[in-house]
Structure 1
């Protein structure tokens, strides 16, 4: 039986955060249909250009439509003008489109990150609100759990590796407590001056194992 992508939702935990020289985006991998865990290896981070990527929480069909639109407009802008669209301009473009369709909205909540001269991070809401985030952004049903982790552990000027580990920790917090977040692993993408790069699952799983060890307190022996 075929399933309409409009019925599939990424109930989700997604995170974007700034490090000293990069943007780190991370997401869980579960897609749900109602109360059913429909897919455990769903991709929720989308490369837009060589210096820009986005995460989404919401309806899969709507997400793909908006991402395709953004890619086409950003590429057209670059072709016509001979220069890259800024991250802020891309966020504003999304904001205008989503606000114009607010009476029949796209069910999407996007975190848009990238590099121009510096790391930039924006959150775009379903009705077109756009917020520039100075440190980090979170979206999806696991927001409360991920946000708590970031509030407690985020530091200005983090290294890329520290940012990756913290983003994974925040997603794992969402996966542990939110029934609509889950999946076989965590997706992580880094955007730095070299461009958009996906972090290998080998590295991700290594960080996950380290986090599990940190949570296990050493047993105390009574004498």
Structure 2
């Protein structure tokens, strides 16, 4: 019998930056493994990735991307852009398609410009203004579709991302209802916070 896992992660891109949000519950089948896992991992001080799927696979990919980002900085004397990192990650995932990493990833960052993309386990890459992954994504995407505006502020996008995860958590049994991890990335840098699920 297949074991069920679940989560909700969201990403929103604006002219001033990127907002990523995710629940903090790790589940396996009908058991909650932990209520305090970080599903958004910073890769550099300006790029982060989220995961729906295998946390171990995401952690392995994050270590790879961190090493690649440091090598790029050392070689070229400038930081890798989020767009370049998304393309690199797409190639890594595609090269492993016969033994895939079991992840759906959102990558967001602000290096030169705000960038947001989603990737499937085989490396399919889509750049977009907003996206969501995980078992709660059918609920979260409706909130993003309804609330997203191109000219919205970072604070409004933060509130929208939190609302999307909260809504998913109310309807998706595999999305946690304790805390929401939020990362905001602007040209000034990255800010991480944890918000209580209940309003």
Report the TM-score, using the length of structure 1 for normalisation.
Answer: 0.84
Pairing partner for 1:163 from 139, 142, 157: 157
Matches within 5 A, 1:187-206: 187-199=181-193, 201=194, 204-205=195-196
Higher strand share: 2
Mapping for residues 135-146 of structure 1, pairs under 5 Å:
135-146=129-140
**2:7 partner SS:** coil
Residue 163 of structure 1: how far off its partner (Å): 0.7
Q: Which residue of 2 aligns with 1:68?
A: 63
Corresponding residue for residue 143 of structure 2: 149
Q: Which runs of 4+ in 1 moved over 4 A?
A: none
Q: 1:42 maps to which residue?
A: 37
- Structure 1 contact 41–183 (Cα < 8 Å) conserved: no
- 1:87-166 alignment, distance < 5 Å: 87-133=82-128, 135-166=129-160
Aligned-partner SS, 1:12: coil
- Asked whether the equivalents of residues 48 and 108 of structure 2 are also in contact (C-alpha less than 8 Å), the reply is yes
Cα displacement (A) at 1:11: 1.3
Once residues 83 and 77 of structure 1 are traced to their aligned partners in structure 2, the CA distance between those partners, rounded to angstroms, is 7
User: Partner residue of 2:9?
Assistant: 14
The SS at the match of 1:76 is: helix
Unaligned 5+ residue runs, structure 2?
A: none
Q: Where does residue 86 of structure 1 map in the other structure?
A: 81
Q: Deviation of residue 194 (structure 1)?
A: 1.1
Corresponding residue of 1:220? none
- 3-state SS, counterpart of residue 49 of structure 1: coil
Distance in 2 between the 1:142 and 1:151 partners? Answer: 15
Output the CA distance in 2 between the equivalents of 1:156 and 1:198: 23
Q: When the two structures are superposed, what TM-score results if normalisation uses the length of structure 2?
A: 0.94
1:28 alignment partner, one of 8, 23, 27: 23
Task: Give the whole-Å Cα distance in 1 for the aligned partners of 2:191 and 2:165.
Answer: 19
- Point out the structure with the larger helix share: 1
* RMSD (CA atoms): 1.6
